[in-house]
Chains A and B, each alone.
Chain A
Amino acid sequence: DAMVIQNPRYQVTQFGKPVTLSCSQTLNHNVMYWYQQKSSQAPKLLFHYYDKDFNNEADTPDNFQSRRPNTSFCFLDIRSPGLGDAAMYLCATSREPGQLNTEAFFGQGTRLTVV
């Protein structure tokens, strides 16, 4: 059974049109992460939530926002997508950061295309 679910799997959006990607988890994990993976590159962390505390990476553009209304759901909002934002967006969860046996579980990803 899928434990970290991302919807949709594929998203096409217009240049400049706001888009929201969603992630849900059935693991009841405290931490949820959003990674961006551009073609043939390593995944790169955008931000994460530890419970309700939002933690932004220093180099994440302002165009990217996130919401976590409850433990199970986390959303990635791209306010004005540009062509350079086309990528695979990966959601991950972990029970506690930096602790033993708290490895991150990843969803299948949402591939975003900007036209």
Chain B
Amino acid sequence: GEDVEQSLFLSVREGDSSVINCTYTDSSSTYLYWYKQEPGAGLQLLTYIFSNMDMKQDQRLTVLLNKKDKHLSLRIADTQTGDSAIYFCADGSSNTGKLIFGQGTTLQVKP
């Protein structure tokens, strides 16, 4: 079945760039998503990328997709303490809209 993998933890200093990586197995993926989850809260959609794109930029966020290697990354420029959260990569290729989530990367931003 489909699987999505992420590294579990990333620590950066305020003002640096953060890069969170994700790999997936489904070769028919059409949409890949990044969600942010703050402690005790639901999931906030940050951005998504369609599989025929290799890059998408939205303000401080840059998503890179390497479809050949099935690798997705999220770059956050000028990382702030408010960016501290868990970031989930999700594969949304199913016709049902079902999302397969990675286990989440905890981003710690140090002042």
Contacts and interface: CB of A to CB of B under 8 A. Distances in A.
Interface string B91-106: 0111111110111100
A111 B42 CA distance: 10
B96 A109 contact: no
Interface residues of B, number: 26
A94 to B, nearest CB: 5
Interface SS of chain B: loop
Contacts, number: 70
B45 interface: yes
A8 interface: no
B77 interface: no
Contacts of A109: 40-42
A107 B42 contact: yes
Nearest to A108: B42
Nearest to A48: B96
B88 interface: yes
B97 A98 contact: yes
A45 B98 contact: yes
Contacts of B101: 42-44
Given A41-B103, A43-B88, A98-B30, A48 B42 contact: no
Interface string A92-112: 101011101011111111010
Interface in A26-58: 31, 33, 35, 40-45, 48, 50, 55, 57
A103 B33 contact: yes
* Of B4, B33, B104, most A-chain CB atoms within 10 Å: B104
A43 B43 contact: yes
Nearest to A93: B97
B96 A97 contact: yes
Interface string B27-69: 0001101010000111111001010000000000000000000
Given A42-B102, A42-B103, A42-B104, A104 B97 contact: yes
A21 interface: no
